[in-house]
Amino acid sequence: MALASILSEMPDLLRRTLDEHTPDANGYCRECRDATGVSAAWPCVTRELAEEARHINSGGLPGTRDAGHAPAAREELQPSVAGRRRARDLSGATDSGRHRSALL
């Protein structure tokens, strides 16, 4: 969230990031390619970060991005895609840790 907050204060860089990190015809990011030409699936992490920054820039709270709600309706907002992914990853790690300890 900190990087999204910083990016939200740089409108030119934010706009350029949103303009550049767009999907190609196959659903991959046009900008996120490694040296071998393999591209990240879109939306890439950079695009998700820029979307979060745009949300913050427009008055939203960090971690509450949801295009369907105005910033004034904060109690109804949902976590961002990145926030949901992080929560899923953390809950999966916790669950797998419980399963391992239960097996021992």
Contact yes or no for 59/72 (Cβ under 8 A):
no
In the predicted model, what is the mean pLDDT of residues 13-17? 95
pTM for this model (two decimals): 0.57
Contact yes or no for 28/39 (Cβ under 8 A):
yes
What pLDDT sits at residue 33?
86
Peptide bond into 23 cis (omega under 30): no
pLDDT tens across 44-103, in order?
A: 999 999 999 999 988 877 666 664 444 444 334 444 555 555 555 565 554 444 444 444
- Domain residue extents for the chain: 2-103
